[in-house]
Copies of this chain bind each other. A is one copy, B any other.
């Protein structure tokens, strides 16, 4: 596995592979890799000749007061994980090359980026869209693999990729979970043992709402309240939102329709840690 730090070198390497008829997959990460990332990388490996994993903690998607400065890092472990899976390139761009003096551009997705996460973190998705566009142009992948855990992010990325005609196929791979249902996340390292146990309420709440939907519930407010009531059963959990919406458009009708694909999304604070989770379900 080769480590590449320069954007122009990464472009040249990717162009060389493509000129030899090879396909290139990109897995963008912020490092501190866990089994969820590993499953994305394996998916990439199965679907392309060459796999690039990018590792960049992108400052522009964090707001003031968020955990940019304390975001967990473990380069040696990340290197071992990627090498073991057979990743070809670990792309670790330097912040000053990614955001040089005079950097002044952004990629903005209206509509779907304003709700839910975008409501609590209003600059977050602008930062995500720009850095992913930059990583696409630096790595020139044919496919890019993202985890479903950041559901809204995958929708924003799909939208600007299609809107701006990036020649990249976006693949969304399922969320990996601990045995007790907790969605794997680099931020889980912030949690105490007790908090890890409390955090299982996110998946339990999604499951409760899914079961109600399977049993015929269609009212958005009832579904949302099932999730909220369940979250509120744990004292330490402070819900930010618990919302059902159309899985493609984020429309929020009073009643969902038969056959509609909807997403249930939860965000909570647990102590100082912000956790999110989601599940997608098609109404019977």
| Contact surface of A with B, Cβ cutoff 8 Å | 7, 11, 15, 18-19, 21, 100, 102-112, 129-130, 133-134, 137-138, 140, 159-160, 162-167, 249
Contacts and interface: CB of A to CB of B under 8 A. Distances in A.
Nearest to A139: B165
Contact of A160 (B100, B105, B109, B112): B105
Given A18-B19, A19-B18, A164 B104 contact: no
A65 to B, nearest CB: 23
Contact of A7 (B11, B21, B107, B165): B165
A19 B175 CA distance: 36
Question: Which among A21, A100, A106 has the highest number of chain B CB atoms within 10 Å?
Answer: A106
A137 B167 contact: yes
Given A18-B19, A134-B164, A167-B11, A159 B107 contact: no
Given A134-B165, A164-B130, A159 B108 contact: no
Given A104-B111, A104-B112, A105-B160, 7 more contacts: A19-B21, A100-B162, A103-B163, A105-B110, A105-B159, A137-B164, A140-B167
Nearest to A135: B165
B104 A163 contact: yes
A122 to B, nearest CB: 15
Q: Kindly report how many copies of this chain are found in the complex they form together.
A: 2
A108 B104 CA distance: 8
A162 B140 CA distance: 15
A167 B19 CA distance: 15
20 contacts: A18-B18, A19-B21, A100-B162, A104-B112, A104-B163, A105-B109, A105-B110, A105-B129, A105-B159, A105-B160, A105-B164, A106-B110, A107-B108, A107-B164, A108-B108, A134-B163, A134-B164, A134-B165, A137-B167, A138-B165
A37 to B, nearest CB: 23
Nearest to A108: B106
Contact of A105 (B103, B138, B163, B167): B163
Contacts of A134: 163-165
Nearest to A142: B15
Nearest to A163: B105
A108 B109 contact: no
Contacts of A19: 18-19, 21
